[in-house]
Copies of this chain bind each other. A is one copy, B any other.
C-alpha cells in the first residue's frame, strides 16, 4: 500500500501551523511558559478506533521545532482502545504546546476516516466485496483522506477526474446513448485508462455490457436488482454498488455479490477520533 512521502504533506502542515500561529504567535505559551522549559507529553486516544496519521502528526511538532524528539507507541493501521498512549513528544514546552492543536486536528481527522472505514470493512469481511471511497473529500486534503481510507482497510477509487473514466448520468444524457458515450471514450483516452459507467437500471446495464466497459457503477439499485445485475455481468466486468448504503444495509449489498461498494461518507461525514495531548509533569 502506498505510503505518503513527507514531501507530499510537509507544506500542508507548515501552512496549518501558520494558520494557528498567525502573526502574533502563541501568546499564551510565550507569556506563561519559561523559554527553556523542557517537558514530555503523550498523544492519547480518548475512544476506541483505528489510528491514522500518527507519523504525520508527529512531524508537525518537528516542523515547528527540529529539536523535538518523538517516539511511536503504535503505527498507522493499529486499532487502539480508549486512553491508550499513542506516542511521546519530548522537548521545549512552548514548541510542544504551540504545535499541539495542529497535530491533533490532523490525527483526529485521519483516524476518524480510518476508523469509519474499518467499521464498514468489518461488516463485509466475509464477502468478497471491497469497500471503496469516492471523490467526496475535503478540498485539498484528498491525498491524506484517501490514505486514511487505505489505512482503514478500504480501497481507493479514482483520485480525480484524471486517472479513470466514469461516465455518469449527465455525460450519458449529453452524449445521447451509452453506446455513443463509450465509443467516444475509446477513441479518446489512452491505453492505461479504465472505463466505468454509471447505470441506474438493468436495461442500461445491458447497453453498457454491449458497448464494452471495464466496470459498471450500479447506482441506487434495490438488493434484488443488484443481484440480477451481478448475474448478468457474469464476471465480465467489475461491479460497483453505490447510493444509500449505510452500516445497516451494507452486508445485504455485499451479499449480492458485487465487487465494490463505494461510500461517500467515509470521507465527507466521518466523525473525528477523539485524541488528546497530555503533558507529563
Binding site for B on A (CB under 8 A): 1-5, 7-8, 12-35, 37, 39, 41, 63-65, 93, 95, 97-98, 101-102, 104-106, 108-109, 112, 130, 132, 135-143, 146, 155-175, 181, 184-185, 187-194, 196, 215, 238, 240, 259-260, 265, 268-269, 271-272, 277-279, 281
Contact = CB atoms under 8 A, between A and B. Distances in A.
Contact of A259 (B39, B165, B174, B191): B191
Contacts of A18: 7-8
A68 to B, nearest CB: 12
B108 A159 contact: no
A139 B13 contact: yes
A22 B174 contact: no
A162 B24 contact: yes
A37 B184 CA distance: 15
17 contacts: A3-B25, A7-B14, A19-B142, A20-B135, A20-B142, A22-B159, A23-B143, A24-B143, A24-B156, A27-B193, A32-B172, A105-B139, A105-B268, A138-B141, A156-B190, A192-B215, A271-B271
Nearest to A270: B269
Contacts of A136: 101, 104-105, 108, 272
A25 to B, nearest CB: 4
A231 B273 CA distance: 35
A35 B130 CA distance: 24
B140 A16 contact: yes
Nearest to A96: B170
A59 B161 CA distance: 19
Contacts of A143: 23-24
Nearest to A16: B139
A157 B190 contact: yes
Contact of A25 (B5, B16, B140): B5
Given A163-B24, A171-B29, A191-B259, A7 B269 contact: no
Contacts of A190: 132, 155-157
Nearest to A105: B139
Contact of A132 (B2, B175, B191): B191
A98 B21 contact: no
Contacts of A23: 8, 19, 22, 142-143, 146, 159-160, 162
Contacts of A109: 138-139, 268
Given A155-B191, A159-B163, 16 more contacts: A5-B64, A5-B98, A19-B139, A23-B143, A23-B162, A25-B162, A27-B188, A31-B185, A32-B184, A33-B174, A112-B269, A132-B190, A156-B190, A170-B278, A191-B238, A269-B271
